Structure 1
Amino acid sequence: MKKPTAKIREEIARLQEQLKQAETRDAERIGRIALRAGIGEIEIEEADLLSAFEEVASRFRGETKPAQGRKPATTPPNGTGEAACQSAEA
């Protein structure tokens, strides 16, 4: 049986609100950790900080980020054989 479009829209709105709340919790958690680490006291451009966070995220996902001018590694450092250099937004 098909759902009516109004019911689907309600479900989407509910899920969007849940996503917003989850993102807020994540942001608060990461913000607290960053402050404890002293990030708030460092004068750094937002783009540079974002780049550093992306590198950390890649490291903990087991991805490798090639140095400029180098080809990506075929196997990530954890040796699982999964594809390397996946996008940080994936």
Structure 2
Amino acid sequence: MKKPSAKIREEIGRLQQQLKQAETREAERIGRIALRAGLGEIEETALLAAFEDLAGRFRESEDQASGRKNAGGSRPAGTTPAVVEIGAAASGDSEA
């Protein structure tokens, strides 16, 4: 039996709400872990570059595990990952 379009729209709306709640929980979890690791003190652009590099490493390891080559790489060929220093060296403080 086919569902009427109104029922499908209701289901889509309910699923979108569930997705939003799940993403919020995941973001809060990742945020708590990042704060415990001291990432809250790093400049946003450097932090974003580091996260992109980290995601790329995970994608590469997944691709290698599945035997895929060049599958879904987000970084253009020939670019290098950003290096992010943590601690006093990252903030420029030289109180040591």
Same fold (TM over 0.5): yes
Amino acid at match of 2:46: D
CA deviation digits over 1:35-73, x for unaligned, max 9? 01101122x1x333222111111212225xxxxxxxxxx
Number of residue equivalences: 74
Amino acid at match of 1:20: K
CA-CA distance at 1:80 after TM superposition: 4.2
Are 1:83 and 2:83 an aligned pair?
A: no
Q: Quote the residue 1:37 is aligned against.
A: 37
Structure 2 CA distance for partners of 1:33 and 1:83, relative to 1, 3 Å:
same
TM-score (norm 2): 0.63
CA-CA distance at 1:14 after TM superposition: 0.7
Q: Specify which structure has the bigger relative contact order, considering alpha-carbon pairs within 8 angstroms and separated by 6 or more residues.
A: 2
Q: Which of the two has greater helix per residue?
A: 2
Alpha-carbon distance in structure 1 between the residues aligned to 2:14 and 2:65: 40
Which consecutive unaligned segments of at least 5 residues does structure 2 have? 75-96
Seq. identity, %: 66
Structure 2 CA distance for partners of 1:87 and 1:16, relative to 1, 3 Å:
farther
Alpha-carbon distance in structure 2 between the residues aligned to 1:54 and 1:8: 36
Which consecutive unaligned segments of at least 5 residues does structure 1 have? 64-75
TM-score (norm 1): 0.67
CA-CA distance at 1:83 after TM superposition: 2.9
